[in-house]
Structure 1
C-alpha cells in the first residue's frame, strides 16, 4: 500500500498530453534570390545569398534617427501593440495558474433563523415527541453562526488539458511579440519613407528656384534680343511660357512637403505643426541609404525571421494546442480537494478543538451527454488549425512575392540612377563647352543659360531618383523584415 502514492505520482508525471504535437512548419526558400524571380531577366538581382542576415539599409541622418526613436516610443500603433503583448503575458499567467493548487480562505459571522414550517421540521414530525411545539419553537429561535477556514483543490492534469492551455498561451504571447516587432519595423520604415519624401520635396523646391532664376535670365535675354532685332516675339513668348511652367510646379512641391511633414507628425503622435522647426529645410539633398552591398543573408534564414511569418507560425502552434485542450475535455477530470475550518454557534467556543470540521478526498467529473458539444468543439479546433496552416502558407508565399517585387524595383531604379549619372555628366560637359565658347566671344549667353537649365533639370531628376532609390531600399527592408541600422 505504501507504493500506491508513489505509483500515483509516477502516473501524474508521465501522463501524456492528448491532441497533436506541434511541429515547426517548413519555410520553402530558393538557394538564391535570383532563382525565384518574375518579370524581365534584366531586373534579376544576383549575389544576394552571401553573408549573414543583417540590416540592409543604414540611415546616417541624425534627425531621422531621432524621429525614429521618438516614433517607437510615442506612436499610437506601437503603444497599442505593446499593450496587446502585455495582455498576452497576463493571459499566459492566467493559463499557467491552473498547473498548481488553488487555495481559498473564508470567514463569516451571521445571524439566522430557521422556519417553523420548513424542511427541518420533518424530522421533528417523524419523531413526534410530546413537546413537539416547544422543540420547534426552540429550533426556530434566532442564533449566530461563526465560520472560518480554507479550501484547497488541485486538478490532476492527466490528459494535458492545462498544459495544452499553457502551450496555446505561450504561442499567443509569441504571436503578440512578433506582431509588436512587425509594427515597430513598419513605423521605423514609414518614418524613413516620409522623411526622405519631405527632404526630396525641399530639395526639389531649391532646384526649382535655381532653374526659375535661369529661366528668368533667359526670358530677359530673349526680350533684349527682340529689342535688338535678333529674336522674334515667338522666342520671347516661349521663354515666358517655360518660366511660367516652372513657377506652376512649385506649389505642388510645397504641398508634397506639407503632406510628408504631417504624416511624420502623425507617426510621432503629435499635433500638426509640432515638428515644423525640426523639419525645416537644411539644404541637404536626400540620398540613397547606404547598405552592406546587398548582403541580405541566406534566403531561408531571412524569411524565417520575418515578423509576420513568425506570427503566423505562432498562430498555427496556438491552434494546434487548442485541439489538445478540446480533446482533453472528452476525458474525466479528477480533482483533489481539502477543506479545513471551524464552525460554532457559540462565539466563546469558536476556537475550541471540538469546533473543527474537515473534509478531504478526490472528486470525479465524467462527461456523459452534452448533445455533441465537446465533439463539435474538437472538430471546430481542427478546422481552425487548418485555417491557420493555410494562413501560414499564404504569408510565406506573399513574403516571397514582396521580396521579388522589392528587388526588381530596386534593380530598375538603380539602372535608372546610373542612366541619370551619365546624363548629368554629359550635361556638365555641355555647360563647360558653352561657357568656354561664350568667354571666347564665339557665342552669347543664351547657349550657356540653356545648358545650365538642362543641367538643373537633370539634377532635379537625380534628386528625385536618389529619393526613389532610398525608398526602394526601404522596400527591401520591409520585404526582408530587417530593421535599418543606426
Structure 2
C-alpha cells in the first residue's frame, strides 16, 4: 500500500504532453484557373476542355478497354503495393502494442542442486560453524521447485514516445495507401495508353494496305502506258520504289501492334499471346470524356502529393520519439504466483508470493547517441519538407506540360482534319473528271492515295490526342473509368 500513491502519481504523469513538435499540414497555393499558371505560348493555354467547375472524371467509351481495366486488377505491381500497404498496417499494430499493459503467465518445475563449495557455503559456515558439513550436505541435496503465476508490466508513456510512434506509423500507413492509389492510377492509364496505341497501329495497318493497293494500281497503269509508249521507265521505277517504301512501313506497324499486345498482357498479368483476340478490331476508340475539375482540387487528388505529406507527418512525429528517449522511463510492474518444493503444496495459501511497484530507467551518459538521434530526425524532417515542396511544384509543372501538349496536338489535329477534307474534295473531283472522260485513271489514283495519306495522318493525330488526354488524366490524378 505504501507504493500506491507513487503508482497513482506515475499514472497521472502518463497523460503529459508528448515530446517533440506537433504536426501542422503545409499549405500550398493554387490558381483559380489552369491557364493562370501556364508556361509557354498563350495559345497553348486554351485546351478546349470543359470548364473546371465539375468533379474530375475521365469516362472511357469502349467495352473492350473496360474489360482490360477490370483484368488489370491482377497486375503484379498493384498486388505488391497492396501488400506493402497491408505491411504498413501491421507495423502500426506492432507499434501500438507497446501501449498499455503487457500480461503473461508462467509455470514450471525445476530440479536443482546447490554446490557444496559455492557461495552458499559461506553462509552455512557463518550461521553454524560447528555443524557446517551437515548443513552443507542438507543444502546440496537435490530438490524440485514448483512455480506458477503471472506477470504484468506497463511502461508509462510519460513523454509520448509510444504515442508519437503510433502517430508516425499511422502516417507511414497513409503514405503506403497513397502509393497504392498511385499504382492503381498508373496501371489504369498505362492500360488505356497501350490500348489506344494498339488500335492506332491496327488502323494504320489497314490504311497502309489500302495505300499499297492504290500504288499497285498506279504501277500497273504505268506499266501499260510504258508498253504503249505513253510513259517512260522512270515513272515505273519511281512507283516501284514508292511501293517498296510503303511495304517497308508494315513491319514497323506490326511491331507496334505486338509490343502493345505484350504490354497489355504484362499489365494484366498474363502470358504473351493471351490477348490475340484483340488483333481483329481495327478501329480507334473515341477519346475519353474528360473534365479536370478545379485546380485547387489537384493537390488533394494526387497520390504522390498525399504520400509526400504523410511522409512529412511521419518524420515530424519521429522527432518526438527521439526526444522522448532523452527522458526517464517508468515502468509499473506486478508479479504474483505460487512456489513450493512439492507439487501438492501449490494449493497452499502459504506458497503465495507477489511483488508490485514502479521501476525507473534514467539515461545518464551515452556519448551523445540520443542527442545525435534527435538531430538526425530533425534533419530528416527538413528533408521531407523539401521533398513535399518539390512534389507539389512538380505536380503543377506536370499538369501544365500535359495541358500544353494536349492543346498543341489539338491544333495539329484540326490542321490534319482540314487536310483530309481537302484531299477528300480533290478525290471527289477526280472521280467526276474520270467518269466524264476528262482525264485518265492516274489523277484519280493519285487523289485516292493523297486522301488515304491524309486519313492516316488524321488517325495518328486522333490517337496522339487521346494519349495526351490520358497524360492529363495521370497528371490530374483522374483514374480512367468505364
- What TM-score does the superposition give when structure 2 sets the normalisation length? 0.96
Matches of 1:10 and 1:357 in 2, distance apart?
Answer: 25
**Would the alpha carbon gap of residues 223 and 262 (structure 1) be closer, same or farther in structure 2, given more than 3 Å must change?**
same
1:439 aligns with 2:440: no
1:448 aligns with 2:444: yes
Quote the residue 1:410 is aligned against: 406
Matches of 2:477 and 2:334 in 1, distance apart?
Answer: 53
| Alpha-carbon shift at residue 128 of structure 1 (Å) | 3.5
Secondary structure of the residue aligned to 1:98 is coil
For structure 2, the 5+ residue unaligned runs are none
Secondary structure of the residue aligned to 1:31 is coil
Quote the residue 2:56 is aligned against: 54
| Alpha-carbon shift at residue 304 of structure 1 (Å) | 2.3
1:309 aligns with 2:309: no
Matches of 1:248 and 1:10 in 2, distance apart?
Answer: 82
More deviation in 180-189 or 43-52?
43-52
Matches of 2:311 and 2:324 in 1, distance apart?
Answer: 20
RMSD: 1.9
Matches of 2:46 and 2:389 in 1, distance apart?
Answer: 25
Matches of 1:287 and 1:20 in 2, distance apart?
Answer: 52
Secondary structure of the residue aligned to 2:357 is strand
Quote the residue 1:477 is aligned against: 473
More deviation in 152-161 or 405-414?
152-161
* Partner deviation per Cα, 1:221-252 (whole Å, 9 max, x = no partner): 11111122222211111111111111011011
* Partner deviation per Cα, 1:248-288 (whole Å, 9 max, x = no partner): 110110111111111111112222112223x2221322432
Task: Return the match for 1:345 from 341, 348, 355.
Answer: 341
- Mapped contact 2:413–2:461 kept (Cα < 8 A): yes
1:164 aligns with 2:164: yes
Quote the residue 1:106 is aligned against: 106
Secondary structure of the residue aligned to 1:154 is strand
- Mapped contact 2:66–2:481 kept (Cα < 8 A): no
* Partner deviation per Cα, 1:448-478 (whole Å, 9 max, x = no partner): 1111111111111111111101100110011
| Alpha-carbon shift at residue 6 of structure 1 (Å) | 11
Quote the residue 1:259 is aligned against: 259
Say how many residue pairs are matched.
480
**Would the alpha carbon gap of residues 49 and 331 (structure 1) be closer, same or farther in structure 2, given more than 3 Å must change?**
farther
Matches of 1:208 and 1:50 in 2, distance apart?
Answer: 40
**Would the alpha carbon gap of residues 126 and 49 (structure 1) be closer, same or farther in structure 2, given more than 3 Å must change?**
farther
| Alpha-carbon shift at residue 190 of structure 1 (Å) | 0.7
- Mapped contact 2:62–2:285 kept (Cα < 8 A): no
- Mapped contact 1:32–1:49 kept (Cα < 8 A): no
Task: Return the match for 1:300 from 277, 296, 301.
Answer: 296
Quote the residue 2:153 is aligned against: 153
- Mapped contact 2:200–2:283 kept (Cα < 8 A): no
1:280 aligns with 2:276: no
**Would the alpha carbon gap of residues 393 and 149 (structure 1) be closer, same or farther in structure 2, given more than 3 Å must change?**
same
Quote the residue 1:244 is aligned against: 244
Matches within 5 A, 1:362-441: 362-441=358-437
Secondary structure of the residue aligned to 2:281 is coil
Matches of 1:61 and 1:119 in 2, distance apart?
Answer: 88
**Would the alpha carbon gap of residues 48 and 36 (structure 1) be closer, same or farther in structure 2, given more than 3 Å must change?**
farther
Matches of 1:362 and 1:191 in 2, distance apart?
Answer: 61
Matches of 2:302 and 2:384 in 1, distance apart?
Answer: 17
Matches of 2:125 and 2:10 in 1, distance apart?
Answer: 51
| Alpha-carbon shift at residue 443 of structure 1 (Å) | 0.9
* Partner deviation per Cα, 1:417-461 (whole Å, 9 max, x = no partner): 111111111111111110011111111111111111111111111
| Alpha-carbon shift at residue 28 of structure 1 (Å) | 2.3
1:218 aligns with 2:214: no
| Alpha-carbon shift at residue 392 of structure 1 (Å) | 0.4
For structure 1, the 5+ residue unaligned runs are none
* Partner deviation per Cα, 1:354-390 (whole Å, 9 max, x = no partner): 1111101111111111111111110000000000001
| Alpha-carbon shift at residue 338 of structure 1 (Å) | 0.6
Secondary structure of the residue aligned to 1:153 is strand
Quote the residue 2:177 is aligned against: 177
- What TM-score does the superposition give when structure 1 sets the normalisation length? 0.95
Secondary structure of the residue aligned to 2:279 is coil
